């Protein structure tokens, strides 16, 4: 299928940024990466979630909007292949699990104002990894502020993504189960993912694939 704007998403530790970088390098694509490591609220949030959840989510909302609005609009002018390791709706999915009821109601109002202005991807790829495997990946990469992430939190984020998928008719969503594969270490697994993404005519809604060894 003809893909100009590709999104690679997934839960924390799923490998979305790694896959984004690999595809961008291979195809010479323009790459949009979320700058979460520069967010000053993130380490504080993992230490005191109730206190820092709202400023964290609002800062992410603003940063994601500014980056996507700037770079995707430029993409429309130059018509090049763009790949991103996040989609704007990620803001809402995480906010559902971090904010209080009143905070979320206010946050949702800001989100709705912005969302319709964000370009929609030609294809949305979601790397599905079980929470227990996500925890292994998180511990392996060793970011100090992530070590307190719980299985429960990862499961809640996963449910948020799946709920979004069920309500999304506007563009194709390719859900790839990568629990039995390692596309970073094994080129054959990476090539299988490329085949799934680029060699199929995906329909709007959920398209499921299992990447086996």
Which long-range contacts does 132-135 make (Cβ < 8 Å, 24+ apart)? 133/179, 134/11, 134/12, 134/13, 134/14, 135/13
Would you call 102 a catalytic residue per the annotation? no
**Considering 85, 177, 199, 201, which one is annotated as catalytic?**
85
Q: Is 30 left (phi over 0), alpha (psi -120 to 50) or beta?
A: beta
* Per-residue buried b or exposed e for 114-141, using 16+ beta carbons within 10 Å of the residue's own CB: beeeebebbbbbbbbbbbebbbeebeee
Residues annotated as catalytic are 85
């Amino acid at each position: 299928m003809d893909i100009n704007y590709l999104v690679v998403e997934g839960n924390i530790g799923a490998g979305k940024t790694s896959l984004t970088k690999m595809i961008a390098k291979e195809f010479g694509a323009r790459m949009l990466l979320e700058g979460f490591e520069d967010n000053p609220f993130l380490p504080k949030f993992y230490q005191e979630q109730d206190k820092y959840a709202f400023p964290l989510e609002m800062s992410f909302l603003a940063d994601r909007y500014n980056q996507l609005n700037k770079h995707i609009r430029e993409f429309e002018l130059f018509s090049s292949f763009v790949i991103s390791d996040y989609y704007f709706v990620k803001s809402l999915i995480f906010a559902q699990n971090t904010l209080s009821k009143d905070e979320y109601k206010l946050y949702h109002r800001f989100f709705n104002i912005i969302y319709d202005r964000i370009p929609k991807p030609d294809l949305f790829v979601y790397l599905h990894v079980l929470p227990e495997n996500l925890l292994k990946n998180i511990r392996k990469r060793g970011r100090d502020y992530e070590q307190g992430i719980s299985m429960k939190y990862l499961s809640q984020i996963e449910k948020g993504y799946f709920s979004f998928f069920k309500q999304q008719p506007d563009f194709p969503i390719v859900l790839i189960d990568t629990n039995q594969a390692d596309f970073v270490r094994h080129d054959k697994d990476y090539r299988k993912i490329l085949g799934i993404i680029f060699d199929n005519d995906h329909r709007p809604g959920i398209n499921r694939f299992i990447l086996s060894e």
